[in-house]
Amino acid sequence: MRREEEILVGLLLDEECQLTLGELSRACRVHAEWIVELVEQGIIEPRGDDLCHWRFSGSSLGRVMRVQRLQHDLGVNLAGAALALELLDEIRRLRNRLSIIDREL
Amino acid sequence: MQYKDYYAVMGVDKGAAQDEIKRAYRRLARKYHPDVSKETDAEKHFKEVGEAYEVLKDPEKRAAYDQLGANWKAGQDFRPPPDWDAGFEFSGGGFTDGDASQYSDFFESLFGQGFGSAFRSSQRGGGGFHAPGQDHHAKVLIDLEDAFHGATRSITLHAPELDPRGHMITRERTLNVRIPKGVRQGQQIRLAGQGAPGIGRGAAGDLYLEIEFRPHPLYRVDGRDIYLDLPVSPWEAALGAKVKLPTPAGVIDLTIPAGSNSGRKLRLKGRGIPAASSGDLYAVLQIALPPADNAKANELYRKMAEELAFNPRAGLGV
């Protein structure tokens, strides 16, 4: 089969997708310690009691990468990045609601 | 190749102090950061600003750039003069901490090859330099219906890449990607190893596809929930009726309860985007008035006016 005709099946990063601490840090190319810091800041919330049994949802991966970019590009610290993420999520929710309401009026 | 006016990109004078340039960069970076900005072309602007700052923040690169002369205009066709960087000493050399592959040909021609040697030798030295390839990010536009049934999308990526001689080239490749059933707006699909190739024995980067729904003429999407405006006649709303309702999965029958008003939301559980816990579909009732454009219709409206004691403004106290 030619390469162009191959159909790639990726990993959908949703709630059902469960990543271990190792998988998450490898995918984001950061130290596990840094992920632990993000958990302590409440930026991402794993399921499971202790570090070895932590499982992160797929959406955590996007959050970790956004924090990386915000830190690297804008020089914000972790607490600032956490705040920015929450505000950005809220803005996205509101914008979406607004687009639904706009059409209802 | 087009000349780039880095001072104009940063919105500062040619004589701007380093502090001023740094402040301008911080402000523009916040404004155009793709994770933050809603500006159109935010990513393009952000890259331009990053490239301009990469040159202007470094006194050596800035001096070399200034030396090109003040007569160039942005967009003008540009070739670097031969030996243009002669007489400058470059300590760091080449790209610094920026993301080199994102920069323009203009930058590349000035600072990519002849400029210092550290970068090139690390690329071509062969002797034991390994680095993982970069992750790539792309958006993939799908229709709402694709989220219901799953789909295969063919996407074309244009990735800048260094050839074996250290030159920047753009490689085009097409991938066929499975879009799984149940995806939502903004979710990502990770394709391991489909990013930029690694350097040396470094592993290839990953490709992240962000799902974006094309605007739909009928439906609005909120997470897994779907909203649809459903026009009904005054008598269907008042008396109740069974009407046809289009859903992304096909037409269904919906019962309108008697006494419904405009704006009422009727929830159809589980008719949203399918998942372990599927979303819901909301039909938002819109009462559509028949036009009073003939004698018969006029007579009916007049009869309603006479026989229904109805004041729509009772709530306003008038």
For B17-28, the pLDDT digits (tens) are 999 999 999 999
- Of A71-80, B156-165, B211-220, B233-242, the poorest mean pLDDT is in B156-165
Comparing B12 with A6, which gets the higher pLDDT? B12
Give me the sign of the Cα torsion angle A62, A67, A68, A69: positive
Minimum distance, in Å, between the CA of residue B174 and any CA atom of chain A:
7
Distance CA B98, CA B49 (A): 12
Give me the sign of the Cα torsion angle B13, B19, B21, B25: negative
Q: Is residue B222 within a helix (H) or strand (E), and if so which, with residue range? A: strand B219-222
pLDDT (0 to 100) of residue B85: 59
Cβ contacts (< 8 Å) between A5 and chain B: which residues?
A: 176
- Rounded to the nearest 10 degrees, the angle between the axes of helix A78-104 and helix A58-74 is 110
Distance CA B172, CA B59 (A): 36
- Of B41-55, B118-132, B195-209, the poorest mean pLDDT is in B118-132
| CB of A1 less than 8 A from some CB of B | no
Give me the sign of the Cα torsion angle B144, B146, B147, B149: positive
Verify whether the Cβ–Cβ distance A11 to B183 is below 8 Å. no
pLDDT (0 to 100) of residue B83: 62
Q: Which residues contact A102 (CB under 8 A, 6 or more apart)?
A: none
Inform me whether the pLDDT recorded for B102 exceeds 90.
no
Are B136-213 and B219-316 in the same CATH fold?
A: yes
Question: Tell me, what DSSP letter sits at residue B276?
Answer: T
- Facing residue for B177 by CB, picked from A8, A61, A84: A8
Give chain A's mean pLDDT: 88
Verify whether the Cβ–Cβ distance A5 to B176 is below 8 Å. yes
pLDDT (0 to 100) of residue B70: 67
| CB of B36 less than 8 A from some CB of A | yes
Q: How does pLDDT run across A10-39, given as a tens digit for each residue?
A: 888 988 889 999 999 998 989 999 999 999
B80: helix, strand or coil: coil
Inform me whether the pLDDT recorded for B86 exceeds 60.
no
CATH code assigned at A77: 1.10.1660.10
pLDDT band at B4 (very low <50, low <70, confident <90, very high): confident
Distance CA B2, CA B259 (A): 67
Distance CA A46, CA B103 (A): 37
Verify whether the Cβ–Cβ distance B189 to A84 is below 8 Å. no
- Chain B residue closest in CA terms to A75: B26
Q: Are B208 and B138 in contact (CB under 8 A)?
A: yes
| Percentage of chain B modeled with pLDDT above 90 | 49
Mean pLDDT of A48-63: 91
**Is B219-316 in CATH node 3.40.190.10?**
no
Judge whether A3 lies within some domain: no
- Chain A residue closest in CA terms to B175: A4
Cβ contacts (< 8 Å) between B263 and chain A: which residues?
A: 104
Q: How does pLDDT run across B230-264, given as a tens digit for each residue?
A: 999 999 999 999 999 999 999 999 999 999 999 99
Residue B66, amino acid: D
pLDDT band at B120 (very low <50, low <70, confident <90, very high): very low
Number of helices (H), then strands (E), in chain B:
9, 11
Please state whether beta strands B250-256 and B136-142 pair in parallel, antiparallel, or not at all (unpaired).
unpaired
Q: Which residues contact A88 (CB under 8 A, 6 or more apart)?
A: B35, B36
Highest mean pLDDT among B46-60, B157-171, B226-240: B226-240
Domain parsing of chain B, residue ranges? 6-124, 136-213, 219-316
Distance CA A101, CA A96 (A): 9
Inform me whether the pLDDT recorded for B95 exceeds 50.
no
Verify whether the Cβ–Cβ distance A16 to B29 is below 8 Å. no
pLDDT band at A2 (very low <50, low <70, confident <90, very high): low
Q: How does pLDDT run across B50-72, given as a tens digit for each residue?
A: 999 999 998 888 988 888 776 66
pLDDT (0 to 100) of residue B299: 96
| CB of A103 less than 8 A from some CB of B | yes
pLDDT (0 to 100) of residue B84: 60
Cβ contacts (< 8 Å) between B191 and chain A: which residues?
A: 8, 10-11
Inform me whether the pLDDT recorded for B211 exceeds 80.
yes
Q: Are B9 and B52 in contact (CB under 8 A)?
A: yes
* Exposed / middle / buried, residue B147 (Cβ in 10 Å: 0-12, 13-18, 19+): buried
| Number of Cβ atoms within 10 Å of the Cβ of B52 | 25
Of the candidates B156, B152, B296, B284, the residue with the CA atom closest to the CA atom of residue B230: B284
pLDDT (0 to 100) of residue B111: 77
- Facing residue for A8 by CB, picked from B175, B184, B276: B175
Q: In CATH, what class is B136-213?
A: mainly beta
Distance CA B156, CA B190 (A): 16
- Of A48-62, B101-115, B254-268, the poorest mean pLDDT is in B101-115
Inform me whether the pLDDT recorded for B90 exceeds 70.
no
pLDDT band at B3 (very low <50, low <70, confident <90, very high): confident
Superfamily the domain B6-124 falls into: DnaJ domain (1.10.287.110)
Domain count of chain A?
A: 1
Minimum distance, in Å, between the CA of residue B16 and any CA atom of chain A:
21
pLDDT band at A104 (very low <50, low <70, confident <90, very high): low
**ipTM confidence:** 0.83
Minimum distance, in Å, between the CA of residue B158 and any CA atom of chain A:
15
Probe site for chain A from B54, B152, B188 (most A CB atoms < 10 A):
B188
pLDDT (0 to 100) of residue B270: 94
Give chain B's mean pLDDT: 84
Judge whether A31 lies within some domain: yes
Which domain does A45 fall in, by range? 16-104
- Chain A residue closest in CA terms to B134: A29
